[in-house]
Chain A
Amino acid sequence: MPGKYFVVDTTKCTACRGCQVACKQWNKLPAEETKNWGSHQNPQDLTYNTYRLVRFNEYPAAVNSMVWYFFTDACRHCLYPPCKDEADRYVKDAIVIDDATGAIIYTDKTKGFGDKFDNVRRACPYDIPRRDAKTGVVSKCHMCLDRVSEGLLPACAKSCPTGALVFGDEEPMKKLAEARLAEAKKKFGDKAEIIDSDDVRVLYLVVDDKKKYAQSA
């Protein structure tokens, strides 16, 4: 489907968190008051004010004794977004799709979900939407539509130093994902996959069980 895509190559991510911070900066999102909870992953989870979160997970492994996986988690911009299907039952146009990019956009009308918000959140296969406790408005990544419509890269992709998070048109991004997958299979073996590649605009390349990267991956 035409429009814009991300490629997220977890094998090249160093968890510098440039993407996480750039997202906050561009969107003027306030910082959470966090504590160190025994992990470098902070905030602990996505929130109304945290659209993008780098998840850190460590596991024992045969080579080098362990692996440390990093996963920059945010909305996948589904081609057929189940959150929108669910939301449309309650509030019309609370969730809209941008024609040019395919970005899934949450509007202020999401505050009308009321007690149905949990249904909308549960409809998301990746557990992305988060609600502001005060206003009831629901938020998530909007593909930096304000930047992209001006020809700029999303803030996260702009900040990525290693090429782990890349943004562009459908064809080159799908080609890139294919090429990266082929390389990853050679280096890391057959477990390498692009998660749900037919359903989403954010093509995550992982080289192990996807649940090891994020519970809701």
Chain B
Amino acid sequence: MTNHWIDLRNSDCILVMGSNAAENHPISFKWVTKAMEKGATLINVDPRFTRTSSKANIYAPLRSGTDIAFLGGMIRFILDTKRYFPEYVVNYTNASYILSGKFKFEDGLFSGYDEKGRKYDKASWTFEMDERGLPKRDLTLQDPNCVFQQMKKFYSRYTLEKVSSITGTPVADLLRVYEAYGATGVPSKSGTIMYAMGWTQHTVGVQNIRAMSIIQLLLGNIGQAGGGVNALRGESNVQGSTDQGLLFHILPGYLPTPAASMDTLTVYKEKTTPKTKDPMSANWWGNRPKYITSLLKAFFGDAATKDNDFGYSWLPKIDDGKPYSWLDIFDEMYNGKIKGFFSWGQNPACSGANSNKTRAALAKLDWLVNVNLFDNETGSFWKGPGVDPKKCKTEVFFLPCVASVEKEGSLSNSGRWMQWRYKAADAPGQCLPDGDIMAKLFEKVRALYAKDGGAFPEPIKGLRTELTKGGHFDPHAVAKLINGYFEADVTIGDKTYKKGTPVPAFAMLQADGSTSSGNWLYTQSYTDKNLSARRGKKDPTGLGLYPEWSWCWPVNRRILYNRASVDPHGRPLDDKKNILEWKDGKWVGDIPDGPWPPMSDTKAGKLPFIMRADGLGAIFGPGLADGPFPEHYEPLECPVEKNIMSGQRINPTAPVFKGEADAFASCDPRFPFVGTTYRVTEHWQTGLMTRWQPWLLECEPQMFVEMSEELAKLKGIKNGEMCVVSSARGKVDCVAIVTKRFKPFTIQGQLVHQVGFPWHYGWVHPKHGGDSANLLTPSTGDPNTRIPESKAFMVNVAKKGGK
């Protein structure tokens, strides 16, 4: 989230799209309800009428996988009806930049497409530069080659009729949504978006969010209280784990994972540190050398020295351009290339797209370690449906770990709040905290290296040891190291910080090895005090920032890009939502996005989007794999022969796996209905923690498929009857819920039915609960993140035992 949960109450218009917040983030509705009590409009766009829709002022249905068409139509509407916020667009976005003449877009393809490699050469996605090396601008936004005009041309194709024909949303509903949301383009109104996996789990996942970001920039909603772009994270600490480098392409603090071509720290810094010649741009990522060096010092302590590049060469490198995502890992495993696997706090046999492939992949392993609270479909895959244990060679170990409430530590919520929590109960039996399991494992590995030697010993020997003494993980020691220390006496300004004292803020981190920090974003969180344990209830702005409650990255800033909430003179755009103001030579309110004066100070002022090299919000975004403007492409599996926007039916850069387990069926009469997966309030993820909870199972006992009354009639299915849902990859038994909440769509003049089902169940427990919806989902995904496309694919549904 750029903003935070409580801030939802400040919004004038809340768009819930790509999420089902009332059901899957129920507490968020505390704040949504408060906003509505003050007169906010709630809009919900979803293929199915949900518990969220039931509370919405405006509900609009759309076919799964067509969000860009819907949002592209909104961009067109905002531009045509001049609902955008002109000063914001001119001053705070790259709308005025002049594009290079080489940039082209023709028939669904941007310039530079390499058909064989399914990727783009982005060399032409650039701006014209002036003599100072800065992009040329036309502040009147009239130049036909400026981003604004190019955007206008691009989205002029998204007419109401075309959008409706793609999405199945009636034109009247499109207009209701566009009018209501477009009304937030004035300074006195802010609009917000609550999205989740309904946007990310697509072959165009990142571009869904890009499209909304463009809308938010056009309407001047980023940086404002009650605005922003807000991802509702699906697990209480997803934000924290992402911050700490859970994903393959980033190290802690969103530092890029080194690639093989970056063979020295110097090369890494050169290749990954953005540069700008604009004195008005803070270009915060220009500090990357300080952050990577401090991270290496945190990893390797005294073993990291200037002479050995601070241990940079000990970090694993990824092959240039090679993805190591979930889909890729299981593809490699399926192909027998991975021998051992730690399945830690997860249940891939149910959670991963194309679960039959995942389950088959597990059988190719020599060994599998399942670290979890309970037995699950992953640890027991060898005795699952259709598996002969005698033919399964994989040796499986189960390590029971403790639950979150049985250990101390912090978690970081969607609003970036790091919140300390305490141990509430002892764990049963021999269960251990994950940290202890890792510590014991590492100590054993290190002891074996000491005794027997082994390949590449330096990182094993060099890793800090004081955090895991005696096989125990100390959450306080780790949190302090994540904050970081001075590793030598350092003088900054007129103050000397002694070696061993905590670094007070990331502006003091150094690139010379004199500081350590396990994650620069968390510097300040745990210095002489553990700020994440704070529970102060002061609210000086009255807008719910609560600066003394827990601690928020970065530097306790509660609303990101808040320098865009003021005009170039530092005056709030909306007096009623004054989160930040330049007063008497200083900023008052939230922690500003940097200390510099506002933009009107032409010498010291800075542009508001400090994490971007040019300091501006990116309407034209050349950084992504699939294009600088979001374009509608059909899901890999879709119900239409033709994408009416272009000759490219699917995202030309979407990953396509070609093994025998990777079957796909588009416009195939065997699988005529659109399918999607979702969650219910009563279960969580693969149900590992909730399926064992009788009160929750009582509410939602079994795998179900929801379908319209029209489809049920067509297929002769009665409410409550057992059905079989099938795709090109698998089939699942489901109880039919026949409901008015799904209705057929009219797509390109044809009636298209959609069904949906939850992914909470698995064969281990309960006995009649059913199995995972991911047996049906395809192994393809977004070309940027490689998140699987589990939200739009094609299925059939039939009465069980029928035809």
Contact = CB atoms under 8 A, between A and B. Distances in A.
A60 interface: yes
B737 A39 contact: yes
B768 interface: yes
A30 B694 contact: yes
Contact of A161 (B26, B698, B702): B26
A14 B54 contact: yes
A36 interface: yes
Interface string B689-703: 000001111111111
Contacts of B735: 35-38
Interface string B702-742: 11100000000000001111000000000000011111110
B695 A66 contact: no
B720 A37 contact: yes
Contact of B743 (A34, A65, A163): A65
Contacts of B718: 38
Nearest to B737: A38
A69 to B, nearest CB: 8
Interface in A57-83: 58-60, 64-70
Nearest to B720: A38
A21 B741 contact: no
Interface string B737-754: 111110100000000000
B443 interface: no
B110 to A, nearest CB: 38
Interface in A121-155: none
A131 to B, nearest CB: 20
Contact of A36 (B52, B59, B700, B739): B700
Contacts of B678: none
B682 interface: yes
A191 interface: no
Interface in A13-38: 14-18, 20-21, 24-25, 30-38
B738 A38 contact: yes
Interface string B515-534: 00000000000000000000
Contacts of B54: 14-15, 67-70
What is the interface residue range for chain B against chain A?
A: 35 or more
A9 to B, nearest CB: 10
B670 interface: no
Given A35-B768, A163-B33, A42 B26 contact: no
Contacts of B23: 14, 16
A63 to B, nearest CB: 9
A21 B736 contact: no
Contacts of A43: 698
A12 interface: yes
Interface in B20-39: 22-23, 26-27, 29-30, 33, 37
Contacts of B682: 17
A40 B738 contact: no
A68 B52 CA distance: 10
Nearest to A49: B698
Contact of B33 (A12, A35, A39): A12
Nearest to B56: A64
Nearest to A11: B55
A162 interface: yes
Contacts of B392: none
Nearest to B743: A65
Contacts of A35: 701-702, 735, 768
Contacts of B700: 36, 40, 42
B51 interface: yes
Contacts of A67: 54
A30 B51 CA distance: 26
Contact of A21 (B22, B59, B696, B768): B696
A58 B743 CA distance: 13
Nearest to A18: B26
Nearest to B36: A12
Interface string B670-699: 000000000011100000000000111111
Contacts of B738: 38
Contacts of B695: 21, 24-25, 31
* Nearest 3 CB-CB pairings of A with B: A38-B720, A31-B694, A38-B719
Given A14-B22, A35-B702, 13 more contacts: A11-B55, A15-B51, A16-B681, A21-B699, A25-B695, A30-B694, A31-B695, A31-B697, A34-B697, A64-B53, A66-B49, A66-B740, A162-B29
Interface of B: 22-23, 26-27, 29-30, 33, 37, 49, 51-56, 58-59, 680-682, 694-704, 718-721, 735-741, 743, 768
